[in-house]
Amino acid sequence: MSKVRAYIGLGANLGDVRATLTGAVHALGSLPGASLAGVSRLYVTAPVEVTDQPDFHNAVVALDVPAGPGSNSGPIALLLALKSIERAFGRQERIRHGPRELDLDLLIFGDENMAVIRPEAGRSPDPEKSLRLLEVPHPQAGRRLFVLAPLADLAPDLVPPGWPESVETARARRESIEGASAVRAVAAWEAGLGRWSPERTAATESQPASRPPAGIDR
């Protein structure tokens, strides 16, 4: 079966965040038929909307996965795998924009441009979100600097389906709105070690990220 390059957004702000995200990277790379194609730097980003919570850590993983036997089957299968990994790492449903043990978002799946009803196992138990469609590319990825910064580490020249610009152009545009300090790279992925190694001191990492403008749906 042919392979497709998918990009997965990772985020967490509860518990041992770095250990959780490192474990999630390895879990993604261990999915049946999948292979890890790249891991972005690790970023610290300020929470949005609900600001009374810890800063988030965010990253993006490039994953080569089976395309699937039919229309939309590949993205749906990957969505279900992401939800399973979230649950394995203790994901609890809370208020929208609230804290997360682990959040995995399907950002891009090859050249797919789709909006379909999610299978029941891929839905949120939150009634507010339970009927949300599975949309690929992720409909808000182009407005999220905490997605665009790590995605630009891996695919700066990529123009996702339906986008009017490249990932790097979108990143620069959002940075001009939110400010360069809205996201801070704190570690680089070392493939040989299978972990992120700090780029800055622990004191630097502990400094809060600046608050982005309201209205960005995390």
Catalytic residue, chosen from 41, 64, 94, 100, is 100
103, 144, 171, 218: the catalytic one is 103
Return the structure tokens found at 172. Answer: 């620069």
CA 4 to the chain's CA centroid? 17
Q: Whole-angstrom Cα distance, residue 81 to residue 146?
A: 22
91 is catalytic: yes
Q: Which is the catalytic residue, given 41, 55, 105, 118?
A: 105
Please state, in angstroms and rounded to a whole number, the distance separating the CA atoms of residues 203 and 205. 5
Residue 17: phi, psi to the nearest 5? -60, -45
Catalytic residue (choose from 41, 91, 144, 184): 91
Answer whether 91's CB lies under 8 Å from 104's CB.
Answer: no
Residue with tokens 């939150």: 126
Of 177, 196, 178, 176, the residue nearest 186 (C-alpha): 196
Annotated catalytic residue 157: no
111 is catalytic: no
The catalytic residues are 91, 100, 103, 105
